[in-house]
Amino acid sequence: MKILFVHKSKLNSRLIIKIFLIIFIIFLIIYSQSNIKAVVNSISLFFEKVFPSLFPFFVATELLSHTNIIEILNKLLSPLMKPLFNVSGKGAFPFIMGILSGYPTGAKIISDFRKRNICTKVECERLLAYTNNSGPLFIIGTVGSSLFFNTEIGYLLFITHILGMISVGIIFRFYKSSCYRQESIVEEINISNFSSIFTDAIFNSFKTLSMIFGFIIFFSILINILLTSGVLSLISSTWIIGSILSFIEITNGINYLSSIISNNLSINIVLTSFFLGFGGLSVLMQVYSIISKTDLSIKPYIYGKLLHGFISAMYTLLFIMCFPSLSFKI
C-alpha cells in the first residue's frame, strides 16, 4: 500500500510539472511581445546590476579561500563561532561574506568549502541555513533609497536582516550532531600557481553567473505572464499579490510591495523584511543548483530561510513598535 502511494505521488508530481510546462509554453507564445520586453529588461538588470556586483565578489572570495585568511579567521574567531553557532572558526569566512555580499555568494562559498573539505557536511549545512543573505548594497541602496525613497528604512531592514541571520545561526547550532572532521586540502596561492587559480576562479564565477542569468530571465518571464495574463487581477488584495510576486522573485516583488499606497508604511516594511530574509523561489533555485554538485541537503537552507524571514519581520515590527518615529506614516 505504501509503495502504491509513493508511485502515485511521483506520478502526480510528474503530471503537475508536465501541465505547468505546457501552460508555460502556451503563454510564452500568446504573450510573446511582452515576454521579449521582460527578457530585455532582465538582460539589462543582469549586466547593469547583478554582474558588476557579484562577479568581483565571486572571484575575490575564491582567491581568498586559497590564502591563509581562513586559518587566520579560524584562530581569531573560533572562540566566538564555536559557542554561538557550533561550527569551527573557518565558518567565520562565509559568515562575514554573507553579511557583506548578496545572494547567492554565501551558498557558493559554502559549496566550495564542501568540495574542498574545509568544513564538514553538518557544518556546511548549518552555515548554509544562515550565511546566504541579501547584501547591504541591495537592502540600503536599492530597497531603502530607490524603492522606498528613504535611507532610514534601508538601514532598519539591514539591521533586522543581520539580527535575523544571527538568530537563525544560533538556532541551527543544534542541527544534528557534529561529525568527524577530516583534514582539508587547500592549494595555497603563490606566484607559480597564481595564473592557474586565477583562471579557475574567473571560469567558475562565469559559470555560476550564467546559471543565475538563466534563472533571472525565467522568473522574469513567469512574473510577466502572471501580470499580463490578468491571473493576479483575480486577487483583490494588493498585499497578497505583492507577497506572491516576492515569493517568486524578491526584486520585482519588493518593488510592488513598496509601491502599495498605505497611510502607514509599516505593513510594507514588515512584509519586505520577511521576503528579504526568505529570498524567494528564484534564489532558492539558484542555491539548489549551486550545491547540487555536493552532498549538501537543501532542506536546512529552506527551513533556515523561512525562519530568517519570520524572525527578521518580527524584529522589524518590534523596532517600529518600540520607536514610534519609525512608524513611517505618510
- Written as tens digits, the pLDDT of the chain (330 aa) is 545 454 555 667 678 888 888 888 898 889 888 989 988 988 887 888 778 878 888 888 888 878 888 888 888 888 889 899 999 888 999 999 888 888 888 898 999 899 888 889 999 999 999 999 998 888 998 898 888 888 999 999 999 999 999 999 999 998 877 655 555 555 566 666 778 888 888 988 888 889 888 888 998 899 899 888 888 888 888 899 999 999 999 888 898 898 888 767 788 999 999 999 999 999 999 999 999 989 999 999 999 999 999 999 999 999 988 887 665 654
Maximum Cα interatomic distance, the chain, rounded to a whole number of Å: 64
Q: Which residue in the block uniquely carries the three cell numbers 517600529? A: 320
Cα(129)–Cα(157) distance, rounded to whole angstroms? 19
Cα(7)–Cα(124) distance, rounded to whole angstroms? 32
Q: Which of 230, 224, 220, 227 is nearest to 250 (CA)?
A: 220
Q: Which of 33, 12, 11, 15 is nearest to 23 (CA)?
A: 15
Cα(292)–Cα(316) distance, rounded to whole angstroms? 33
The answer to the question of residue 207 being in a domain is: yes
Cα(220)–Cα(39) distance, rounded to whole angstroms? 7
The answer to the question of residue 146 being in a domain is: yes
Q: Global pTM? A: 0.84
**Residue 195, pLDDT score:** 81
The answer to the question of residue 59 being in a domain is: yes
The answer to the question of residue 296 being in a domain is: yes
The answer to the question of residue 217 being in a domain is: yes
DSSP state for residue 184 in the 8-state scheme: P
3-state secondary structure of 19: helix
| Total number of domains in the chain | 1
The answer to the question of residue 1 being in a domain is: no
**Residue 261, pLDDT score:** 81
C-alpha of 52 from chain center = 17
Q: What is the DSSP string of 145-207?
A: IIISS-HHHHHHHHHHHHHHHHHHHHHGGGSS---PPPPP------TTTHHHHHHHHHHHHHH
**Residue 330, pLDDT score:** 43
**Residue 311, pLDDT score:** 97
Cα(21)–Cα(53) distance, rounded to whole angstroms? 32
**Residue 62, pLDDT score:** 82
Cell digits for 10?
A: 511521483
The answer to the question of residue 20 being in a domain is: no
Q: How many helices (DSSP H) and strands (DSSP E) are in the chain? A: 15, 0
Q: Give the domain range for residue 304.
A: 31-326
Is residue 154 within 8 A of residue 148, CB to CB? The reply is yes
Cα(218)–Cα(138) distance, rounded to whole angstroms? 21
The answer to the question of residue 17 being in a domain is: no
3-state secondary structure of 135: coil
Cα(144)–Cα(223) distance, rounded to whole angstroms? 23
